[in-house]
Chains A and B, each alone.
Chain A
Amino acid sequence: MTPFIRSMFVVARRDFLAIVATPTFLLFLLAPLFMVAMGLAGGMGASQLADSARGAGRIVAIADAADVEALRAADRRLRDAFTRGEAPPPLEYRIAGPDAPAPLAITREKGTDTYAVMSGPLESPHIVERNAEGSSGRYLNLLANQVLRDRAAGDVAPAKPRFESIQRGGTSIAVQQSLGFGAVFIIFLLTLLLAGQTVSSLAEEKGNKVIEILAAAVPLESVFLGKLLGMLGVAVLFIAFWMIVAMGGGLIAATQVDPAAIAAAGKAGKATAALASMPATGWPFFLGIGFAYFILSFLLLGAVFLGVGAQAGSVREIQMLSLPITIFQVGMFSLSAAAASAPGSGLAHFAQIFPFSSPLAMAARAATDDAKAVHLLALGWQAIWVALVIFLSVRLFRSGVLSSGSGWKFWRRNKAVLSAAAAAQAASSQSH
């Protein structure tokens, strides 16, 4: 091991342990739990709201007693074509007669929303509807037509369909693209959550003056890289922890749930469809390269943030920097997401070549394009940029922060220049 690598690991080890061996880290590690809990609570609330809203609505048909049964049969048949969410609100019946309520009176009944009311003879129904663009009125019209047709046609034997699903092996382009998008999103989310911390990681050393010990003992490049590696270690630990939790949870769930239920769910579930489909490069390669791109995305953005944060003089400045940093990350995400949805386009190529969006965009490419060698090229290209960013950050840090005398603050030098110049001017004007 060269001294450079060794000192890099010394710094990385210190940083990693200093972060992990604190109670705060536990909070950090478990933070997604809050997110999941909140998500679940919110999701349940939302679905309950949707359920209750759906339960509250109805459509009403005022029909002769003789027609009600025909309407009911037609309604049952038509509803078969809809899935649960798309179906019209439940249909209620009122018997037409002298004491039947007027359609408008029905719409004003309390306790439930009435979207449409049909009255009059089926040949010329009078439909009152709340929303002209809504489907409820048209559905009632369709129903009336259906009953009339039934009557005219008499008894017709129902069709005997034979359903067969489209073969799953040949993955559709759309699914591959959404896999690519998923990869972009996951890498982005993880980098957003984890890489932003590097911005403040040199603040500690500047605050407690350890930076001079480090600067004297080892090359600054290895300090920067070591810090980055330490943070990467924390990030990988974080991901590994949640992977294990997720896999453990999945195993427990699999033993608890009846296989038949899974099979039944599998027929309808979109997620299982995506799982059953394949990224263009195959699952093992896709996952592996995805992880590699996460690491490079982390290193690239982390190096930028580390370099920017190293220039900051105070905690306040670092806090101010977090907004542009987040926006920068979101920008890279948008670019890569756009690229993921248009593989092969000029935009996609730009996103794949531009160093800071390259890991995201290339991960997406792995989902849709089965070429593998290009990823090696991309990883190398991104690694060069990591080195370049570190190199530049160190240059800036050396010339800006370290050279500014005893204060170790980069603004001091300029101030000294200004005041010295002002004093010199004052002195010379005095002597005249």
Chain B
Amino acid sequence: MNDFSVEANGLTKYFGNYKAVDHVSLAVPTGSIYGVLGPNGAGKTTSLRMTLGIIDPDEGTSRLLGGQRPQSVRHRIGYLPEERGLYPGMKAREAIAFMGALRGLDWSEGRRRAAGFMTELGLERVIDEKIRKMSKGMAQMIQLIGSIVHAPDLIVLDEPFSGLDPVNQERLEMLVRRERDRGATIIFSTHVMAHAERLCDRIAIIARSARRFEGTVDEARALLPMQVRYTPRTAGDPAAVAANLPAGAELRDDAWHFAIQDADVEPLLARITASGHGVTGLSISRPALHDAFVHIVRQVDAGFDADATEDAVEEASA
């Protein structure tokens, strides 16, 4: 028995002589929600396509659902592509049943489930409406339903939140959690950190074609030191206050902002208490995933900027 639903090893893809994906490995535990994060054009979609066997990697292998080739377990996978597409002439219910039928679901069962899902997501008005009459967001929800209607064991969603309003984003999050509770494994890619932060058990960050981080959200946030915001009670000489704070502390409005290491928290509190400047506001918090993400991506970019030749190639092919 294997505990990973996705085991992709060293996936590499060249488009011409540009390396779009460079030895990306993904290991997604069964029953978890896994986020693939990365800036635009980092290679997320290509990595997912190779993982699912839609395109063949130039190097590396992908095994799904217990060591099987992606092509042999198609009916147990649900996939929402980044480029949305439905037949505009089809009715919503038929479109969902069609996508289910492609994955081996019975047509009538597909139609039945389609109506159920749509009612649940507040789309009962448009069950028998043609796709071309729907808004983009609605069509996207239809396609999303179509990709999970056959109750797959592995669900891969490429940028599922883009183009949805906040209410539908909320519904989608609910749907993702429920599918996980049903026992499915979910991978989704995004560049919006808030969703990943709320949903993901683990994340991978892909930037410049390669995987730059893998771990839990908390592990990612722990990459950066904790952020402190301190407001003294007495508006004394700033230099005197700064003397008690680590170097690099910045005064913005009335508050001082600086970063500290985990071990320095107690000494800092002791120094502040002893200084006599008082405390009206003090917060010590982990940076958000957003900051960790930006930090990682900037580091990678900085590394690339050092190499002008490679950068030029990158830009030309972007």
On A, residues with C-beta under 8 Å from B are 3, 6-7, 10-11, 14, 18, 22, 204-205, 208-219, 398, 402-406, 408, 412-414, 416-424, 426-428, 430-431
Contact = CB atoms under 8 A, between A and B. Distances in A.
A212 B313 contact: no
Interface in B48-79: 52, 54-56, 71, 74-75, 77, 79
B221 to A, nearest CB: 30
B83 A209 contact: yes
Interface stretch (B85-93, B115-123, B170-178): B85-93
B18 A10 contact: no
A404 to B, nearest CB: 7
Closest 5 pairs (CB-CB, A-B): A209-B85, A417-B16, A423-B316, A427-B312, A217-B102
Given A423-B313, A424-B313, A216 B54 contact: yes
A214 to B, nearest CB: 7
Nearest to B143: A213
20 contacts: A7-B102, A10-B98, A10-B102, A18-B89, A210-B86, A216-B52, A217-B99, A219-B71, A403-B15, A403-B56, A405-B15, A406-B46, A413-B15, A416-B15, A416-B317, A419-B317, A423-B312, A424-B309, A427-B312, A431-B309
Interface of B: 15-18, 20, 45-46, 52, 54-56, 71, 74-75, 77, 79, 81-90, 98-99, 101-104, 143, 146-147, 308-309, 311-313, 315-317
A427 B313 contact: yes
A6 B54 contact: no
Given A217-B99, A416-B317, A405 B20 contact: yes
Nearest to A412: B15
Contact of A212 (B74, B83, B309): B83
Given A208-B85, A424-B313, A427-B313, A217 B16 contact: no
Contacts of A414: 16
B45 A217 contact: no
A3 B75 contact: yes
A6 B103 CA distance: 10
Contacts of B89: 18, 22
Contacts of A430: 308
B316 A3 contact: no
Contacts of B81: 209, 212-213, 216
B71 A210 contact: no
Contact of B87 (A14, A412, A423, A424): A14
Nearest to B79: A216
Contact of A217 (B18, B74, B88): B74
Nearest to A430: B308
A420 B54 contact: no
Given A212-B54, A413-B15, A14 B98 contact: yes
A319 B312 CA distance: 38
Nearest to A425: B312
B104 A6 contact: yes
A423 B315 contact: yes
Contacts of B104: 3, 6-7
A7 B18 CA distance: 35
Contact of B16 (A11, A212, A416, A426): A416
Contacts of A7: 102, 104
Given A14-B87, A402-B55, A413-B16, A420 B102 contact: no
Nearest to A11: B102
Contact of A404 (B15, B56, B84): B15
Nearest to B98: A14
Given A402-B55, A406-B83, 17 more contacts: A11-B102, A14-B87, A209-B85, A211-B85, A213-B79, A213-B146, A216-B54, A216-B74, A402-B54, A405-B15, A414-B16, A417-B15, A419-B317, A420-B317, A424-B316, A426-B312, A427-B308
A421 B309 CA distance: 11
A214 B71 CA distance: 13
A424 B312 contact: yes
Nearest to A207: B85
A412 B318 CA distance: 11
A59 to B, nearest CB: 68
Contacts of B312: 423-424, 426-427
Contacts of B45: 406
A219 B74 CA distance: 9
A416 B18 CA distance: 8
A205 B89 CA distance: 12
A403 B71 CA distance: 16
Nearest to B315: A423
A157 B77 CA distance: 98
Contacts of B54: 212, 215-216, 402
A424 B77 CA distance: 40
